[in-house]
Structure 1
């Protein structure tokens, strides 16, 4: 009997597939559980990232650097042209009325040639107080302020306009922004931003699925990306936390999660305010323009509060793509985008039909692209940075939002730039030469404030700063200090003392040193003042050697020079290398009646919250007596009236008394001029970087730049009132003895009362001819 085989051997157990599916489900469950756990951990990590940055220090804020404010007062030296240039640089608009901050009304009187301005200033928080916005009237005539009153008719002692921002020290990421609170935002800008970028911002929770679906449909049907589905919160997350990586895992998913987390932790107002200060709106060189407040300055040089409807629309339009809608490079594209935004504003009831029509017809209204850049004075900014580095860390300057108030006068700086460029171009053409470089330092007289600085003939060049770092022989610029050393010996020397300009030679370093005059002539016995006024080498060398090299070297050091002065005969004629800044420091002591003041570029430093951090008080030290300085200054005035600098008065009004000195080195490698009024000191250097010869003497080169600068600058004449102990009298220029007005060879000179000559010269009176006598009096 055959046995039936067991079915267990021929068929599988029905429980086997059930166990397989159960195991698979278990793995899926654990996988999902792991994914949820990882997602939770990732979300917790993203949550910590969101909260840490949002609640901490959101941005590294650059230090902002300001020029000195324009202070207006009765009697101030000012021309309408320079004043209007200053107003335009600050973004003021000339309109038919001054009914809002930033507006100016101009009226010209044909009869009196006076110009009257009605101005509505903006106000500004300075280091000492907050200057309120105010309406006032300014009247300018005869190159000075004739009247300053408020619109109620009361006289104003002084009005201080807001300072021009001239630069900053930017973070490593080169981001720049001006922070603005949501409450200070023009309501129309906020409403337009929501209408264009995220109409349902108040309704969603960070991500809007409907917006994503709608954008996907529009893009699919159009065949290109024409609409985005990102909310304002998502845009903020992308810009604030993430990179521009477009992959879904590396940006889109964390962007969505972080957007929801932002909405969970923070209010809509906080998110929107952060977005308004974060959004990218353009590029200025290597510096990115972030936030609407800085965007307004970048494109219009206006605060947000002063923008018109069409300007607000352009800012909102640029949000979609700052490069694509760049109004300088793509003006038509930018205007088309602006008009689209304006249409949305009208559709949403934010503006009426008349406003829409007027705004769409308006030009873009942007400033010239070069004028939008903030840092326009690289040479001066380099000086500011060097002085700040003595007190502050580099990291603090780039992250703490310091406010730095400087001494730079944009009005003076612009005039210096113009004078340098036009004159050097003209000189190169005139002498058929090239590669002439230049630098210039301008200071206030008495305060030692640096008003302007040029380190290159091209004022925008940010490389080698010749004003600070180019040390060149100063030539005859050193001669005034030789004569000052002599005048400090009043029992031996005054301006009429007779000195010899005969040939001279001295042994130095084993060789004979025998300087000659520039005209190759000997002038015999001359009064002391002529040796300086005409810059004679022979008389200066003899005088310096007579009183002693050590005495002259000490005078140079007392004047403010901190370098080494070689006590060699050639030093007397300027064989000392100095930078224009060092020369300015020495000559400022002369211009300030013998009072030494360290030159400085910074007035005040404030923290981001306005708290004063560092003051730079004025340091004064009387290093020379007023009697000697007044006599020296008079001789330097004669330099411009009759000596090597006399060409200046062919262009400058003769009623303005100025003092100065030319300087020329061997083979005319360096052309110098140092001169001052009662208000401004300016040092000019021209030459070549390779130290090769030029066709320019001090009078033919640097003096011409200086003259162009001074003739257009409102300035105050030197005082002709001698100090106590000094009075004018007539001296005979052949003997140095006392003379009389009508005597042959009589010259009118200041003398110390206690060291006047004891003898008088016998002379023939010249008053027989009244016309000759009158002319003689005018000339002398």
Structure 2
């Protein structure tokens, strides 16, 4: 038995040597081991997400894509798949799997194959959080000790949850939630068995096993996972066979965007980086809620894009993207044929095979709702086309007839008489669906912008900075300073009302000829159209957008005083030319600056600051930032005045604290019906830059731009430049058109008390004119021929947007503030009148500025003031 004793001694020595070796190794690496206690409070890097006000996802930003999930939110089959392939005895071992190590050692000894892994999920977690992937013995030793410490610190379910959220799975996806989204566009509970197996197979080598880069490698690894799952009996034989037969259908998916607002998202990204720094903004899982409503944003995008399509179609078809093959004209194509619509006009030569066409289309990029297609056959009034989806559809004549040839911005070709005049087989074209009909299309050449703000607090309600963010990230709402044309006139008229002018003042609408000694030529500003009405009231001149009247008002006020007044609206002095062209709109402003100016008229004279970020939440859904807007509060202003009067009285004395308390009680009363918001700072009051009376008078005058005036039955009726807005059937809308020289920029701005909206259309090349559209015989009444202008080019987008969103805003009758009176005036002279026929109407005046001359006595005067009120006869009010 001596050999038994010797063997026992050797084993004991080996055992104690092993123990000593392990202890020695531990002390050797102890100081380098990180503190695993940090796993208790680990913060996984998650991207920043940007939402609409109603909770729709706009975008997410961050280097790592991660969707953290609780273990009970993961399908049991997904968990079992990872355990089957990565660590079958996970719930049985203490952090390292001795059986697994022995198995791997046996494989190495017998075959020299080092591919057999022995790392447990706990070891992988230790490596992912604390160690590198370098293949060194010392790293493996550290990994083992860390695994033991992690097992002592955390429960098994906690370890598994951390692992499944932390593990790298390729294409910048970390964790199973992100992988399901990236590879399949699904949430984890929507994954099929074969998809689960694909994801579970990724940890070994995500860069070469992922189904996007290598479907073949992904299939092989998937089959290994499925086989392992079947071997341990977590799936049935039937499910196993079905999953093995499933094709690899993965493709790269982005975040599940549910609201399209990329320009808004980029604005938010920039603000968040400014506020928190790039590293924190992109990795702390912040949720940013914006001020935009998803339905309003979608309405803005659709309105802008459809308007650009309409402009593009007016100006003609610029031809196909490319031609895959040529076609020869059939010798019988021009012969009369009763079945012409069914007979191909072209015969084809050198046509590629169907599979080749599909392969070509698969490589082509669409943009927005434009889809690439190939023309297969052309008939008399239709064309057969093939989409990348392998769907064959017919382009009918109604979707083709617009496509006369584009010659230049001023000229278009003749109206086509057949589809053959437009298309030929082999053409690579773009198509889109409109009103359930396929339509030939093209990427718009012109650009546009649309922005809507809440005049009461500056919240941006919708914003679209161009046709497509993927085409151009230049945000025309905030970055494009363009000449504003007649959109400047309300601000010029506002300056005039601060002087000795009223809405009833008579101006001379007659041509101006002024010699310029410096230029050596005469300056001759003209009306557009060149119609002159002679003596005209200021209200009518603004509504009709009379250029020469605007020039004369600027002269009356003075250039320096006019610029000072315009600066009150937030416009920068350097953007305002110090000459008379200012009155015609030579100032260059962004759409956001312009709509902010119009908001002053909408809210009673207050300059609000536009903002888009409402609040920011952290991963625990705690509010870490809440924007406090400056509100326009006319009632607060009136309360201030009343308070000052009381303070001056001997019979009433109020402390400053009492005054502030009254203001905030008044504000809280105004907000009683508003939805509950997170606790925030006390409200801030916006600066009042013009009087309530001035704002009301301009806003009211701009309603005449919509509804006109006079009596059509008596031959005195007239339209304002925004008469098309009558379609909305709202009396609370004020609006103004704007067009610059040569139609290089077209504008439309309009507002109610609840929303102010500005649209712009032009080319990014500021020297290029929008031109004119000639009469199109195919379009009949469905066209808009003529020179492009604010009313023709920019207004339709504004109108389409407002058609969608105005039902969300209750119609309000704009009430005149105190300090105004309303008297009946003679429409021809602006003097007082007691007539009640079509020659007269009521007009608003600041008290003390009413006309003093009249043609008849007994003039009725109505005051809108607290101490001077008379009840008018309702029949005499307009």
Q: TM-score range by the shorter chain?
A: 0.5 to 0.7
Deviates more, 1:745-754 or 1:692-701: 745-754
Following the alignment from structure 1 to structure 2, what is the Cα–Cα distance between the partners of residues 572 and 61? 52
CA contact (8 A) 1:658 1:718 kept: no
Select 1:543's aligned residue among 543, 553, 565: 553
Structure-2-length-normalised TM-score: 0.61
Task: Tell me the residue number matched to 1:436.
Answer: 446
1:383 deviates by: 2.4
Task: Tell me the residue number matched to 1:231.
Answer: 120
Select 1:319's aligned residue among 182, 200, 205: 200
Task: Tell me the residue number matched to 1:757.
Answer: 851
Task: Tell me the residue number matched to 1:154.
Answer: none
Following the alignment from structure 2 to structure 1, what is the Cα–Cα distance between the partners of residues 303 and 265? 20
Following the alignment from structure 1 to structure 2, what is the Cα–Cα distance between the partners of residues 729 and 333? 85
Task: Tell me the residue number matched to 1:627.
Answer: 693
Following the alignment from structure 2 to structure 1, what is the Cα–Cα distance between the partners of residues 554 and 849? 21
Following the alignment from structure 2 to structure 1, what is the Cα–Cα distance between the partners of residues 480 and 56? 29
CA contact (8 A) 2:824 2:841 kept: yes
Select 1:271's aligned residue among 134, 159, 166: 159
CA contact (8 A) 1:298 1:373 kept: no
Say whether residues 1:164 and 2:48 are aligned partners.
no
Cα 1:357/1:548, change in 2 over 3 Å: farther
Task: Tell me the residue number matched to 1:771.
Answer: none
Task: Tell me the residue number matched to 2:301.
Answer: 417
1:268 deviates by: 2.5
Note the alpha carbon deviations across 1:229-257, whole angstroms, 9 max, x for none. Answer: 65323443454455666x57698777666
Task: Tell me the residue number matched to 2:809.
Answer: 716
Select 1:44's aligned residue among 20, 25, 30: 30
Following the alignment from structure 2 to structure 1, what is the Cα–Cα distance between the partners of residues 492 and 832? 25
CA contact (8 A) 2:696 2:817 kept: no
1:613 deviates by: 3.5
Select 1:746's aligned residue among 827, 840, 843: 840
Following the alignment from structure 1 to structure 2, what is the Cα–Cα distance between the partners of residues 477 and 576? 10
Task: Spell out the pairing of 1:611-760 with structure 2 (5 A cutoff).
Answer: 611-619=622-630, 620-641=686-707, 642-649=719-726, 652-655=727-730, 657-695=732-770, 696-713=788-805, 714-716=807-809, 719-725=812-818, 726=820, 730-739=824-833, 743-747=837-841, 749-752=843-846, 754-760=848-854
Following the alignment from structure 1 to structure 2, what is the Cα–Cα distance between the partners of residues 275 and 588? 53
Superposition RMSD in Å:
4.7
Task: Tell me the residue number matched to 1:596.
Answer: 607
Cα 1:314/1:535, change in 2 over 3 Å: same
Task: Spell out the pairing of 1:129-168 with structure 2 (5 A cutoff).
Answer: 163-168=55-60
Following the alignment from structure 2 to structure 1, what is the Cα–Cα distance between the partners of residues 616 and 282? 14
Task: Tell me the residue number matched to 1:587.
Answer: 598
Task: Tell me the residue number matched to 1:524.
Answer: 534
SS in 1 for 2:487: helix
Cα 1:631/1:402, change in 2 over 3 Å: same
CA contact (8 A) 2:301 2:464 kept: yes
1:337 deviates by: 9.1
For these two proteins, the number of residue pairs brought into alignment is: 627
Note the alpha carbon deviations across 1:25-52, whole angstroms, 9 max, x for none. Answer: xxxxxxx99998996577436633x738
Following the alignment from structure 2 to structure 1, what is the Cα–Cα distance between the partners of residues 492 and 480? 24
1:735 deviates by: 0.7
Following the alignment from structure 1 to structure 2, what is the Cα–Cα distance between the partners of residues 335 and 68? 42
Cα 1:732/1:230, change in 2 over 3 Å: farther
1:185 deviates by: 5.4
Select 1:68's aligned residue among 28, 50, 53: 53
Following the alignment from structure 1 to structure 2, what is the Cα–Cα distance between the partners of residues 181 and 410? 29
Cα 1:617/1:741, change in 2 over 3 Å: farther
Select 1:203's aligned residue among 68, 92, 96: 92
Following the alignment from structure 1 to structure 2, what is the Cα–Cα distance between the partners of residues 609 and 645? 50
Following the alignment from structure 1 to structure 2, what is the Cα–Cα distance between the partners of residues 719 and 508? 48
Note the alpha carbon deviations across 1:215-238, whole angstroms, 9 max, x for none. Answer: 899999999999966532344345
Cα 1:527/1:614, change in 2 over 3 Å: same
SS in 2 for 1:684: strand
Following the alignment from structure 1 to structure 2, what is the Cα–Cα distance between the partners of residues 645 and 367? 49
Task: Spell out the pairing of 1:14-413 with structure 2 (5 A cutoff).
Answer: 43-44=29-30, 47-48=33-34, 51=36, 54=39, 59-69=44-54, 163-170=55-62, 174-182=63-71, 190=79, 193-195=82-84, 197-208=86-97, 210-211=99-100, 230-237=119-126, 239-241=128-130, 259=147, 262-263=150-151, 266-281=154-169, 283=171, 288-295=172-179, 307=189, 310=191, 314-315=195-196, 317-321=198-202, 369=253, 372=256, 377-388=261-272, 391-413=275-297
Task: Tell me the residue number matched to 1:25.
Answer: none
CA contact (8 A) 1:377 1:460 kept: no
For structure 2, the 5+ residue unaligned runs are 1-17, 317-408, 410-443, 631-685, 708-718, 771-787, 858-874
